[in-house]
Amino acid sequence: MKRAVALLFFLLAGINYAANAQCVPDPLSATLLSPDSIQNFDTAYVGLPYSQVLTITAPTDTIIAGLPATVDSIIATSVTGLPGSISFQCHNSGCVTIGGSKGCILFSGIPSVSDTGTHDLVMESMIYGKVFGSPASLPYVHTPYNIVVKILTDINESTSLFEPTGVHYNLSGSLVMYFNGNMPKDLSVEVYDIIGKVVYSEKLGQNTSRNAIALRTGSLKTGMYLVTCKFQNGRKVLKFMAE
């Protein structure tokens, strides 16, 4: 899988790590970056928790200066332009994504009034690899993403915001999903086991009177599972353990 260097930058865009805030890659993502720069990041709202996961599907090779190259690792050197109240953490302690692997970056925080506006992100990295077997490195700057921070002035806009916040599996065979805001009419939920097999899927209608819903998944084997929530304005991946 070959990709232009211009897209490779995000393979490692975090330089801080918090073990209690690790993200989970989207198991369905097949592109280098998801969401891409056209979809861009979700809008942030003053006073509301913000969470944006960027999933990285790393290639094993690419093109550098017109020549075929293998990708060993990519290390970010700086990320600027974030709102003051939003920080980011990468998926492992070294912030290293090896070619052929999948990782992610979590952007999170609670924006303040001073963060209002459009924040263009500027990210710099070093790409390490080999060209015709010889070690090579290349600095790169990538700038297609931004975070827009708004103030909620319309109560209808506030109550319509939707974000899955957590899941809990009961041994009785039900999966409880918690969320903020109104459930959208186009919400669909899929549950995957650790090898990527779909073990449960359902399309849900709108329900504005509750902030949790129980899904009858049936008995699940012990292990880690991923829950993918898809809706018109985005997608979010959560994880849980069946024990």
Do 75 and 167 share a structural domain? no
Long-range contacts of 190-199, Cβ-Cβ distance < 8 Å, separation of 24 or more? 190/227, 190/228, 190/230, 191/217, 191/225, 191/226, 191/227, 191/228, 192/27, 192/225, 192/226, 192/227, 192/228, 193/221, 193/223, 193/224, 193/225, 194/223, 194/224, 194/225, 196/27, 199/225
What pLDDT is stored for residue 24 in this prediction? Answer: 78
Q: Do 115 and 16 share a structural domain?
A: yes
pLDDT for 15 equals: 35
CATH code, 15:
2.60.40
190 with 142, same domain? Answer: no
pTM: 0.59
Residues 136 and 238 in one domain: no
One domain for residues 177 and 222? yes
Quote the pLDDT of residue 63: 77
> In which residue ranges of the chain is pLDDT below 50?
1-20, 154-159
Confidence (pLDDT) at 77: 74
* 163 and 146 housed in the same domain: no
Helix (H, G, I), strand (E, B) or coil at 7: helix
pLDDT digits (tens, 9 = 90+) for 145-162: 899 998 866 434 444 567
Q: Are residues 170 and 79 both part of a single domain?
A: no
Q: What is the pLDDT of residue 18?
A: 36
Among 105, 123, 150, the domain boundary falls at 150
125 and 173 in a single domain? The answer is no
What does the pLDDT read at residue 115?
A: 96
Domain housing 70 = 5-150
Pair 127, 13 in one domain: yes
Q: Is 59 left (phi over 0), alpha (psi -120 to 50) or beta?
A: beta
DSSP-based helix, strand, coil % in the chain, nearest 5: 10, 50, 40
Same domain, 18 and 70: yes
What is the chain's Cα-based Rg? 19
Q: Is the same domain home to 146 and 168?
A: no
Considering 150, 182, 205, which residue would you say is the last residue of a domain? 150
Residue 209 falls in which region: left (phi positive, over 0), alpha (psi -120 to 50) or beta: alpha
Domain CATH number, residue 186:
2.60.40.3080
Query: What pLDDT does residue 209 have?
Result: 55
| Res 241: pLDDT | 86
The predicted structure's pLDDT at residue 83: 96
Domain tally, the chain:
2
Q: For residues 219 and 237, state if they share a domain.
A: yes
Last residue of a domain, one of 133, 150, 167: 150
pLDDT at 21: 53
